[in-house]
Amino acid sequence: MPDSSAARFKPGLYITLVALAALTAYGYTLRKDGIFSCPASGYGPDSYLAYCETDHYGDYDHGALWFDLEPGIRRFLGGAQVLFLGNSRMQFGFSSDTTSRWFAADKVPYYLMGFAYWENYQFEWPLLKRIKPNPKVYIVNMDLFFGTVVSGPAASVMNDSNAHSSYRRKRLWQFPHRALCSSFAQLCGDKGTFYRSIRTGEYTRSGGTQFQDPVSYDMKIDDQLVADYVKRGREFFASLTLDRECILITLVPSKDTRYGTTKAIADALGLALIAPQPTGLTMFDHSHLDRPSAERWSQAFFEAAGPQIHQCLHHDAGVGG
């Protein structure tokens, strides 16, 4: 007669093995294609993981601001006196100690409201209408800003009814990621990752491959692009309800930076273009300024733009009694 206890044991063992195999496979997926393939070195009391370069995590940043998932983030953005708009080139170009020191000197709150995925006004304009900030100065990086392509994350958060729950789950995954990968960094990967400061919007980069490519400039003028951007820009800038002197156009340098076209756009819109060109700037990934170059470029920007920014910030102080 077969041992009945052994017969009863075998199904239980099989279920246990299947469960272990499933958990192992799921753990492998998280490590290879999920949040655990990214480092946790950028977390802090003021920062969250905005992007992890994997198929199964990717963007969290769009949802964090659109759905107000990070406590205090809307308050800091809405209270900024100087608000920066643009894509990730703007984010990395102004994410510098130079920027934070410049505003700290006058205790002026600012916010870098740029996004990855070549983001543009198709998402940032609706976000402005949703949050309703009231800055005294707008600084707009014109690089691709009036493009018509809606990015994948923007389309998702604005139109997909399941996006809110999906981004909430992404937020929840950051808790075990932070705990595990901060304590046992060797268990987690080194994919390209960046974090956003809740208070200022500044990006901090971790992981990924580091390059050192020189920036370059294109001085030619694309007349069709000028016409398209001027048409869209007039409508957008009219909605900001600020003096024209307090809307500054910039162009964070990259590869084949379209300086000639941007200058023509700014001139047609009657806005100031402040886009310094220090020599020797380099990018970490063929597209974004590395940190040393961002320090130098933002220093040159504030040296040029500082008087105009101060005038706009203190305009009310000179009015009335």
Q: Could you tell me the pTM of the whole model?
A: 0.89
- What does the angle CA 278 – CA 283 – CA 285 come to, to the nearest 5 degrees? 165
Show me where the domains of the chain are located.
Answer: 52-315
Q: 52-315 adopts what CATH topology?
A: Rossmann fold (3.40.50)
CB 90 within 8 A of CB 108: no
Burial class of residue 302, CB neighbours in 10 A (0-12, 13-18, 19+) = buried
| Tens digits of pLDDT across the chain (321 residues) | 555 554 454 655 544 443 434 334 345 455 567 999 999 999 999 999 999 999 999 999 999 999 999 999 999 999 999 999 999 999 999 999 999 999 999 999 999 999 999 999 999 999 999 999 999 999 999 999 999 999 999 999 999 999 999 999 999 999 999 999 999 998 899 999 999 999 999 999 999 888 889 999 999 999 999 999 999 999 999 999 899 999 999 999 999 999 999 999 999 999 999 999 999 999 999 999 999 999 999 999 999 999 999 999 997 644 333
Q: Is 321 helix (H, G, I), strand (E, B) or coil?
A: coil
Give, as one character, the DSSP assignment of residue 38.
S
Q: Is 262 helix (H, G, I), strand (E, B) or coil?
A: helix
